[in-house]
Amino acid sequence: MKIALGSDHGGFRLKSEIIKHLKNKGIEYNDFGTLNEESCDYSDFAVQVAEAVAAKEYDFGILICGTGIGISIAANKVPGVRAALCSDTFSAHATREHNDANILALGERIVGAGLALDIVDTFLNSKFEGGRHQKRIDKIADIEKKYCK
C-alpha cells in the first residue's frame, strides 16, 4: 500500500506522528510537504496529493490542516478525489465502505494524536462495499463532468 501525505503548518505535527506510525507499520508513503511549521497555504499541498491520488499513483492520500476543513475542500476540487474529513472511527470506516473515499482529511486542532492514528488505521483497513453505493459514486462523477471543464 502506498500513501500520499500532505499538510499545512497547522497539520505539520500530526503529520509527523502519522509518518512515524506508517514507518512502524512498514507502509510506504511520500510526504508532499509542508516540511516545517512556517505559515503556508493548505491548498498548495492539497492539490499535489489530490492529483497524485486521482492519477492512481497512490492507494490513498492523507491530508491534515488545523481543522481538516480547508485542505479537504481544496482536495475535493480535483476530479476523481473523494476526500473525507473524519474526527471519529465510525466515519473513517463508513466513508470507505459507502463513499469509497480515497483521501482522509484530519484536523490537528480537532483530534488528538491517539485518536487520529486509530482513524488512520480504520480508514486504511476498511473496504468499499460497492453495490448500491457504486451508483451514488457514479452520480458524484456525473456532477464533476457537468462542472469541471
Positions marked active-site: 65, 98
Q: Which residues are annotated as a binding site for D-ribulose 5-phosphate?
A: 8-9, 66-70, 99, 109, 132, 136
For position 65 contacting ligand RB5 by CB under 6 A, the verdict is yes
For position 10 contacting ligand RB5 by CB under 6 A, the verdict is yes
For position 6 contacting ligand RB5 by CB under 6 A, the verdict is no
Minimum CB separation from ligand RB5 for residue 10, in Å?
Answer: 3
Minimum CB separation from ligand RB5 for residue 122, in Å?
Answer: 22
Phi, psi of 113 (to 5 degrees): -65, -40
Q: Which is nearer to ligand RB5, 100 or 108 (CB)?
A: 108
* CA–CA gap between residue 101 and residue 112 (Å, rounded): 22
Cα separation values, 38 from 12, 35, 86, 93, 125, Å: 9, 9, 25, 33, 33
* CA–CA gap between residue 133 and residue 129 (Å, rounded): 7
For position 67 contacting ligand RB5 by CB under 6 A, the verdict is yes
Residue from 59, 83, 72, 71 nearest 34 by CA: 71
Q: By the criterion CB under 6 A, which residues form the site for ligand RB5?
A: 8, 10, 42, 65-67, 69-70
